[in-house]
Structure 1
Amino acid sequence: MKNVLRVSAVCVYDPDGRMLTVRKSGTSKFMHPGGKPEPGESPAEAASRELAEETGITVAPADLEPMGTWTGTAANESDTDIVATVFTAPGTWAAAGIEAAAEIAELRWLDTARAADFDDLAPLLTEYVLPRIAPWLQL
Structure 2
Amino acid sequence: MKKILRVSAVCIYDPAGRLLTVRKQGTSKFMHPGGKPEPGESAAEAGVRELSEEVGLKITAVDLELIGVWTGTAANESNTDIEATVFTAPGTWDPAEIHPAAEIAELRWMHLDAAADFDDLAPLLTEYVLPHLTNLNN
TM-score by length of 2: 0.96
Could you say what secondary structure the match of 1:57 adopts? Answer: coil
Structure 1 residue 78, shift from structure 2 partner: 2.9
Give the equivalent residue in structure 2 for 1:79.
Answer: 79
Could you say what secondary structure the match of 1:134 adopts? Answer: helix
Give the equivalent residue in structure 2 for 1:32.
Answer: 32
Give the equivalent residue in structure 2 for 1:16.
Answer: 16
Could you say what secondary structure the match of 2:97 adopts? Answer: coil
Give the equivalent residue in structure 2 for 1:89.
Answer: 89
Look up the equivalent residue of 2:79 and give its one-letter code: D
TM-score by length of 1: 0.96
Inter-partner Cα distance in structure 1 for 2:78 and 2:131:
22
Map 1:80-119 onto structure 2 (within 5 A): 80-119=80-119
1:22-47 superposed Cα distances (whole Å, 9 cap, x missing partner) = 00000000000000000000000000
Structure 1 residue 61, shift from structure 2 partner: 0.3
Inter-partner Cα distance in structure 1 for 2:97 and 2:46:
22
Could you say what secondary structure the match of 1:77 adopts? Answer: coil
Among the aligned pairs, what percent are the same residue? 73
Structure 1 residue 135, shift from structure 2 partner: 3.6
Give the equivalent residue in structure 1 for 2:7.
Answer: 7
- 1:59 counterpart = 2:59: yes
Inter-partner Cα distance in structure 2 for 1:109 and 1:63:
22
**Number of equivalent positions:** 136
Inter-partner Cα distance in structure 2 for 1:72 and 1:48:
22
Inter-partner Cα distance in structure 2 for 1:125 and 1:75:
10
Inter-partner Cα distance in structure 1 for 2:114 and 2:102:
28
Q: Calculate the aligned-residue CA RMSD, in Å.
A: 1.0
Gaps of 5+ in 2: none
Structure 1 residue 94, shift from structure 2 partner: 0.6
